[in-house]
A and B are shown apart, each in its own frame.
Chain A
Amino acid sequence: MTTAAVRTTPFHSRTAALVRGHTWRHWAGYVVPASYDLIHDLEYAAIRGTAGLIDVTPLFKYRIHGPAARALLDRVVTRDVARSKVGQVLYTPWCDPEGKVLDDGTVTRLAEDLFRLTSAHPNLRWLHQNAVGMDVVIEDETYDTAALSLQGPAARQILNLVADRDLTKLKFFRAAETSLGAIPATVTRTGYTGDLGYEIWVANDRAEALWDLLIAAGAPHGLQPTGLLAMDVARIEAGLILIDVDYVSARRALIERQKSSPFELGLGWTVARDKAPFVGQRALERERVAGSAWALRGLVVDWDALEELYADVGLPSQVPALPWRTSAPVYVGGRQVGYATSGCWSPLLKKSLALAHLEAPHAAPGTEVEIEVTVEHRRRRALATVAKTPFFDPERKRA
């Protein structure tokens, strides 16, 4: 029996040289750095303070073109692709016929009839199933295209140092075809941190050159290679959900209750009201009228409550060193009304945060709930308050 080596990204020669503690994380069949240093604090600080450089190559990427490209995407996703302009990026989920979320990602309109779709799970079969009879070409470029995410307040300044044109005017969720150094690249003002940031898409064979270029230009501005742990903290602060962690793809769910609609994931804003028919549309229109059973919300765990629980056993308060993604029950009046799916200690906000699925009647911001916490091996409940997300939403993200 032969075993193929685990897949590495085109940046591996560069990232592997910097990962000090063999701290890698599996992502869609690849390994990418979980953190570069043994402690990820300074990588997180870079995302919020200077800029972090994150290898996001493992995202699935599809190039969709031809006369019916737009129609195919409009049939699949919940956003209205017809209304998007060339150079626009849409964040969107897509659903099964029952209106339950299969996946979420971005659609970038690179030309009138040319799009790039990114996703967390493979979607080639789903796209083909929906393209029957359509004049459209679907190319899986997942393994041909490398991607870096440049995130943080200094991201724009660093990018402008290497771009062949000024990207200052590139707006939030817009794309530009440009050259960085001599490297042809697509730059999108997107990311998974809720901060000022860009994602840069290049052919695999230009990946190392891109890395070297950005590091050389960015180092004097505090650019820091950053792993997934730090990005996980940032995405929770930004209230951005993660498939397989905060929700189960309807494609992988074994029972109905594991599935969620966009409304139930806080993505109601992505369900276009008056667009061409799309998969799940009827079910979603019904849900829009009838209301949803669940809502995904932020929780802020009350610090004093947590401190008291620790004081009960004679300990100073502790906070998790790493973002967590185990399920934690949420209660109101002793009855379970939901569950938190991920959370972290926010080093910036000095708050303990969580993302939680709550029964709709208990989801109004400001509602007081209790979340299960384990204190010295005992299951306890700490007061928490339902909050709108994002928890952290700096002006620079859109400015």
Chain B
Amino acid sequence: MQIARVWDAIVIGGGHNGLVCAAYLARAGRKVLVLERRPILGGAAVTEEIFPGFKFSVFSYVVSLLRPEIIRDLDLPGHGLHIVPLESTFNPLPDGDYLATWADSEETRRELYRHSPRDADAMQEFGRLMQRMAMAVKPLLATEPPDPASLHPRELLAMGRIGKHFRDLGERDLHALVKLMTMSSADYLREWFESEALVAAKSASGIIGTFLGPRSPGTAYVLLHHYMGEIDGVFRAWGFARGGTGAVSESIASAARGFGAEIRTDAAVASVIVKGGRAAGVALESGEELRARTVISGLDPRRTFLELVEPADLPSDLVAAVERFRFRGSSGKVNLALSELPDFSALPGAGPHLKGAIAIAPSVDYLERAYDDAKYGDFSRRPFMDIVIPSMIDPTMAPPGKHVMSIFVQYAPYARTGGWDDRSREAFGDAVVDTLAEYAPNIRSAILHRQVITPADIEAVTGLSEGNIFQGELALSQLFFLRPAPQWADHRTPVGGYYQCGSGTHPGGGIMGASGHLAAKAILADGGR
């Protein structure tokens, strides 16, 4: 008679964090099984050939700070990962001019000088201050957050270390940090710069993935997240993955398999089996049951706590906190297959500006108006866009001479008045293309295929609640020891042997892999069987 196999660990969800977690557990000798609902791995980090010959990074489109230690530990380059840096930014402006930044800092200074000589100087000082701020905050991101309410000596010690860390910052830096924590990105930047285009361009990085506008308090802190990246800039880990973001997931999956992990696709999990307060396995939607000593959810907090397990098995304050956890997906995606490159009126031709990030964020008013539309229940008529053309760097993404364009669009509220249907989706796509055509008039005739993705589509395809790309807003009230809920920010849960490893846990956000790595550490520290 066959005895049912008992896994050491089952990971629910083959997104990048789930795969990272599985790879580390397998590396430590655990027998690991990853279960992915979709036929392909990656969650929101997937590459799909949506139109013949054209490969889209359908959802997530840049690799933001995949941790270098993960790349090394798992030998991801040996499994095919190659990240190519995104070096420039290009913001066309309505008056026919543009604002750019380049890989070389002196070239950037010369460009800023064109707009404002004072801003060109201020940028150097601003960069230095932000770098110091990022250095101050970064150590917190690399560790499990302590619970400030706990009297356990370990937690007190950790809080003490954080307290000392901030005291050591000195008065001036501490003041700057408090401003960053409380102000809006537009107000904060206005203290530094006079050029509208520059304030707008930098404000934009404070709103990505949030349901906030550049004038909303709290967005300045998101700017700081951007500069965390600059500290790690030396790693050149921010950019395109060759083969699209799906190649990141594939390389992690390949590493996990190399360590002995098993991965099943088309295997949707219905629930976690809990026996006597402990996770004992999972039940698939197919009815199949699999046993495991440890179960890890890579899904967002809502699914992890309210759907996969019975809320009745959880403390009511946790359930309440997760119910209040804000998702509010605010962004959409338009992916284009192009017969030719966009020709921007502000800087015609196929120059190096097309190899970097291109943004439509001409003024703070523009961004705030885009937010206004969303605030009152509709997508932005003239949205903020963050554009990349991966085929410029990796021509295998499209047939020779042809191109793919990825447009991240904000705002597109999940809770759109009247909801999302085919008509509203296409109207949203039209708004994006119409806006882009104001800057690159040839875009309309260059489109061979258009894929429009609303937050409702993101939710339907990837399972991310309300289509939030970060598994929950990256807002101060939902970070660090509050992510996803007080007392449960250390990747553990009240159910024994049940862990969380998605982007909805600390530190979360982007294709970093840090949540998956920290979760694996917690599991192994617990003796993880």
Q: Is B71 an interface residue (CB 8 A)?
A: yes
A349 to B395, CA, bound (A): 22
Among the 9-residue stretches A36-44, A116-124, A266-274, A331-339, the one with 4 or more Cβ atoms under 8 Å from chain B is A36-44
Interface residues of chain A: helix, strand, loop or mixed (majority)? loop
Q: Is B135 an interface residue (CB 8 A)?
A: yes
In-complex Cβ contact of A39 among B68, B87, B395 (8 A): B87
B242 and A49 within 8 A (CB): yes
A349 and B77 within 8 A (CB): yes
Q: Residues of A contacting B72 with CB < 8 Å?
A: 303, 349-351
B394 and A348 within 8 A (CB): no
Q: Is A317 an interface residue (CB 8 A)?
A: yes
Q: Residues of B contacting A38 with CB < 8 Å?
A: 103-104, 107
- CB of A214, distance to nearest CB on chain B (Å): 15
With A49-B82, A220-B400, A222-B394 known as contacts, the answer to whether A350 contacts B235 (CB < 8 A) is yes
Q: Is A221 an interface residue (CB 8 A)?
A: yes
With A222-B395, A349-B72, A350-B68 known as contacts, the answer to whether A41 contacts B77 (CB < 8 A) is no
Closest residue of chain A to B84 (Cβ to Cβ) is: A45
A45 to B84, CA, bound (A): 6
A41 and B68 within 8 A (CB): no
Q: Residues of A contacting B82 with CB < 8 Å?
A: 45, 48-49, 348
Q: Residues of A contacting B107 with CB < 8 Å?
A: 38
Q: Is B492 an interface residue (CB 8 A)?
A: no
A-B pairs with beta carbons under 8 Å apart, 25 shown: A38-B103, A39-B103, A41-B85, A41-B103, A42-B393, A45-B82, A45-B84, A48-B82, A49-B84, A49-B242, A49-B394, A50-B395, A220-B400, A221-B395, A221-B400, A303-B68, A303-B69, A316-B135, A317-B234, A319-B234, A348-B82, A349-B71, A349-B77, A350-B71, A350-B77
Q: Is B401 an interface residue (CB 8 A)?
A: yes
Given contacts A222-B394, A303-B69, 16 further A-B contacts (CB under 8 A): A37-B352, A39-B87, A39-B104, A42-B87, A49-B393, A49-B394, A50-B394, A154-B396, A316-B231, A316-B234, A319-B234, A345-B234, A348-B77, A350-B71, A350-B77, A350-B235
A319 and B394 within 8 A (CB): no
Q: Is B382 an interface residue (CB 8 A)?
A: no
Q: Residues of B contacting A3 with CB < 8 Å?
A: none
A392 and B77 within 8 A (CB): yes
Q: Residues of B contacting A303 with CB < 8 Å?
A: 68-69, 72
A45 to B85, CA, bound (A): 8
A345 to B355, CA, bound (A): 23
Q: Is B236 an interface residue (CB 8 A)?
A: yes
Q: Residues of A contacting B400 with CB < 8 Å?
A: 220-221
A307 to B231, CA, bound (A): 13
A41 and B87 within 8 A (CB): yes
Question: Quick one: which of A313-371 are within 8 Å of B by CB?
Answer: 314, 316-319, 345, 347-351
Closest residue of chain B to A40 (Cβ to Cβ) is: B103
Task: Report, nearest first, the 5 A-B pairs whose CB atoms are least far apart.
Answer: A220-B400, A38-B104, A39-B103, A222-B395, A350-B68
A38 to B352, CA, bound (A): 12
Q: Residues of A contacting B84 with CB < 8 Å?
A: 42, 45, 49
A199 to B493, CA, bound (A): 59
Q: Which of B77, B352, B394, B396 has the most CB of A within 10 A?
A: B77
Which range contains the number of A residues in contact with the other chain? 20 to 34
A317 to B135, CA, bound (A): 11
A335 to B28, CA, bound (A): 35
- CB of B335, distance to nearest CB on chain A (Å): 20
A318 and B394 within 8 A (CB): no
Q: Residues of A contacting B395 with CB < 8 Å?
A: 50, 154, 220-222
Question: Quick one: which of A193-236 are within 8 Å of B by CB?
Answer: 220-222
Question: Quick one: which of A41-58 are within 8 Å of B by CB?
Answer: 41-42, 45, 48-50
A42 and B242 within 8 A (CB): no
In-complex Cβ contact of B234 among A48, A318, A351 (8 A): A318
Closest residue of chain B to A51 (Cβ to Cβ) is: B395
Q: Which of B84, B103, B394 has the most CB of A within 10 A?
A: B84
A347 to B84, CA, bound (A): 9
A346 to B84, CA, bound (A): 12
Q: Is B237 an interface residue (CB 8 A)?
A: yes
A38 to B106, CA, bound (A): 10
- CB of A66, distance to nearest CB on chain B (Å): 46
- CB of B139, distance to nearest CB on chain A (Å): 9
Q: Residues of B contacting A42 with CB < 8 Å?
A: 84-85, 87, 355, 393
In-complex Cβ contact of A37 among B85, B103, B135, B393 (8 A): B103
Question: Quick one: which of A283-326 are within 8 Å of B by CB?
Answer: 303, 314, 316-319
A154 to B71, CA, bound (A): 24
- CB of A303, distance to nearest CB on chain B (Å): 7
A350 and B103 within 8 A (CB): no
With A38-B104, A49-B84, A222-B393 known as contacts, the answer to whether A347 contacts B236 (CB < 8 A) is yes
A42 to B231, CA, bound (A): 20
Closest residue of chain B to A39 (Cβ to Cβ) is: B103
A49 to B240, CA, bound (A): 11
- CB of A19, distance to nearest CB on chain B (Å): 14
- CB of B143, distance to nearest CB on chain A (Å): 14
- CB of B73, distance to nearest CB on chain A (Å): 10
A377 to B352, CA, bound (A): 36
- CB of B57, distance to nearest CB on chain A (Å): 16
Q: Residues of B contacting A349 with CB < 8 Å?
A: 71-72, 77
A154 to B107, CA, bound (A): 31
Closest residue of chain B to A321 (Cβ to Cβ) is: B234
A48 to B241, CA, bound (A): 12
Q: Residues of B contacting A220 with CB < 8 Å?
A: 395, 400-401
A359 to B394, CA, bound (A): 43
Q: Residues of A contacting B352 with CB < 8 Å?
A: 37
In-complex Cβ contact of A41 among B135, B138, B236 (8 A): B236
- Give per-residue flags for B377-402: 1 if the beta carbon is below 8 A from chain A beta carbons, else 0: 00000000000000001111000110
A222 to B355, CA, bound (A): 11
